[in-house]
Amino acid sequence: MSRIYSLAYLTSNTCTPPQAVRLAAELGYAFVGLRLLPNAAGAPQQFLIGQPEVLRETVAAQRDTGVGIFDLEIIRIAEGFDARSYLPLLEAGAALKAKAVLVAGDDTDEARLTDGYARLCELMQPYGLTADLEFMPWTAVPDANAALRIINTAGRPANAGILVDALHFDRSSTTLDDIRAIPRELLHYAQICDAPTRAQRGSDFTGEEMIHAARCERLLPGEGGIDLKGLFDALPQDLPVSVEVVHLERMAQLGQTEWARQCLAVSRAFLEPQA
């Protein structure tokens, strides 16, 4: 089965939004992901919110190429979360006809985190965006079971979702049975990459090591030890795949275009070996 691929922000992080769209079109990706808000104060991002010319250029690139915007990053739900402060991101998402927003859970009070997530989903509904809660082992949503519990307790809003990242699947306590237990309607896309595993290393990873790998040093599918075959067999076969393979050193050596080309080619060969 031919799959749909999206060029994730981390795989194209030297590009502006319109550049990312045109690069995706050149290489054969159907969508791109954009990071319009940083994942931490002062961290890298792409600038579009509040910049109407960049928005116009991005929409024009979409129109010219047929490449869509799949997901936007990032909303973090922490103590004191105010969903309405993210309205500029949601408005940009509607203008770009994006499909999903990546959501991270940082509030260690799960009841409060659940309430914040429910309020966010309600706020997002008029914008046509899903709120895809990504489990990450160093956050307050450390595994797939926690993500599903939060969404169920929130009343399973119509636009709720769970984002499965291959790296976080492997480095959390999540099992393949946990992945199979996620209701189909909560799965909108998944992220692929590879990395060394605990078994290969012979010890657990620290939180700092997991964060570094996630943001700076992922491997191409087949280069590490993650059970990608098992994972993607457990996920729906028609699920869009976000190619999120950041390796800052190799990207600098190869250049943005060649790196993004290799990421798509290797991911496609791994997931569609007969194609």
Q: What HEC string does 232-257 produce?
A: HHHCCCCCCEEECCCEHHHHHHHCHH
Does residue 74 have a cis peptide bond before it, meaning omega lies within 30 degrees of 0? yes
User: pLDDT tens digits, the chain, 275 residues: what are they?
Assistant: 689 999 999 999 999 999 999 999 999 999 999 999 998 888 999 999 999 999 999 999 999 999 999 999 999 999 999 999 999 999 999 999 999 999 999 999 999 999 999 999 999 999 999 999 999 999 999 999 999 999 999 999 999 999 999 999 999 999 999 999 999 999 999 999 999 998 888 888 999 999 999 999 999 999 999 999 999 999 999 999 999 999 999 999 999 999 999 999 999 999 998 75
Query: Shortest CA distance to 200 belongs to which of 225, 220, 235, 173?
Result: 225
Tell me the Cα Rg of the chain: 17
Containing structural domain, residue 31: 5-271
Query: What is the structure's pLDDT at 1?
Result: 61
CATH assignment at residue 205: 3.20.20.150
Query: What is the structure's pLDDT at 273?
Result: 85
Number of compact structural domains in the chain: 1
Type of residue found at 166:
A
Query: What is the structure's pLDDT at 197?
Result: 92
Instruction: Give the distance from CA 137 to its chain's centroid.
Output: 15
Query: What is the structure's pLDDT at 275?
Result: 54
